[in-house]
Amino acid sequence: MAIAKLKQIPRAPDQRMQPPAKTVQVDGNVATSLDKRSTKSLQILSAAAKIFNRRGFHETSVADVAEALGVSKPFLYYYLKNKDDILFECSRIATDHLHDMLDEVRKANVSGWDKLELLFRGYARVMTTDFGICLIRNTAPGSLPGDSREKLWVGRRRLNREVEQIIARGIADGSIRPVDPIALSFAIFGAFNWITYWFRENGPLTPDEISERFLDVFARGARSVPTPVPAPKIRNTGK
């Protein structure tokens, strides 16, 4: 996907843009309440996420991002501190989207399994955006300073705990058979996180179709259970 060029518009320090009050969408990536600076920041982050996902974080420089946007490095530094800051903001947007989705799932008055399905359908939609892919593929240990990585992991641990609690409620209400909630949580997250490595926008399956197929496997399993063959009836001969 082509990356839109930005116009370099010089601004005085006291004229920096404030975070937008409404939802902003750039190249299919939606962000609400950016902590940085409005639409320009989102355009920079969207372009950076695409390049990080294509080349890898360590193989991408700030100059690469500036070149893709058609701006200078000083222009980028006006909006974001450095490459680590760009990665952190890309990942934070994805994390915020996940927790917005989680807030909606909490409101659903459904069984534990149905709530788990709702959550991972939403999870697949976030993980197939540029920001979601960036969160999974580019925040491995060593990619970010410890304090920034810890901020992201606090949010991810919160999501993990929530999923384990949903599984436990499903076991209690009978919609999920007795299993280890942590093991099931790890298994589902492992499957859905791997989507970020092979999903393509122009591929044969949409995010919803992918989540539907994955959840069917988790719900029904893969092993075919043979239909029991009834025992032959024994005639009573009277002997």
For all residues of the chain together, what is the average pLDDT?
Answer: 82
What per-residue confidence (pLDDT) applies to 40? 82
What per-residue confidence (pLDDT) applies to 141? 64
Residue closest to 52 by CA, chosen among 79, 22, 29: 29
Q: How many CA atoms lie within 13 A of 119 on its CB side?
A: 25
Q: What is the pLDDT of residues 10-43, one digit of tens each?
A: 333 333 323 333 444 545 554 444 444 578 888 8
In terms of pLDDT, which residue wins out, 80 or 183? 183
What per-residue confidence (pLDDT) applies to 114? 97
Could you tell me if 112 and 175 are in contact, meaning their C-beta atoms sit under 8 angstroms apart?
yes
- The answer to whether residue 175 scores a pLDDT higher than 80 is yes
What average pLDDT does this structure show over 161-182?
96
- The answer to whether residue 119 scores a pLDDT higher than 80 is yes
Q: What is the DSSP string of 4-17?
A: PP-------GGGPP
Four-residue CA torsion sign, 95, 138, 125, 191:
negative
CA distance from start to end of the chain: 83
Could you tell me if 50 and 39 are in contact, meaning their C-beta atoms sit under 8 angstroms apart?
no
Q: Which domains does the chain have, with CATH numbers?
A: 16-84 (1.10.10.60), 92-220 (1.10.357.10)
Reported as type and span, the H/E element at residue 170 is helix 146-173
What per-residue confidence (pLDDT) applies to 228? 73
Q: What is the pLDDT of residues 186-210, one digit of tens each?
A: 999 999 999 999 999 899 999 999 9
Confidence class for position 145, pLDDT limits 50, 70, 90: confident
* Exposed/middle/buried for residue 79 (C-beta within 10 Å: 0-12, 13-18, 19+): buried
Rounded Cα distance, 85 and 87, in Å: 5
What average pLDDT does this structure show over 108-128?
96
What per-residue confidence (pLDDT) applies to 12? 35
Could you tell me if 112 and 167 are in contact, meaning their C-beta atoms sit under 8 angstroms apart?
yes
In terms of pLDDT, which residue wins out, 152 or 68? 68
Rounded Cα distance, 196 and 216, in Å: 19
In terms of pLDDT, which residue wins out, 212 or 138? 212
Return the SS3 of 29. Answer: strand
Confidence class for position 230, pLDDT limits 50, 70, 90: confident
Return the SS3 of 200. Answer: coil
Could you tell me if 214 and 194 are in contact, meaning their C-beta atoms sit under 8 angstroms apart?
no
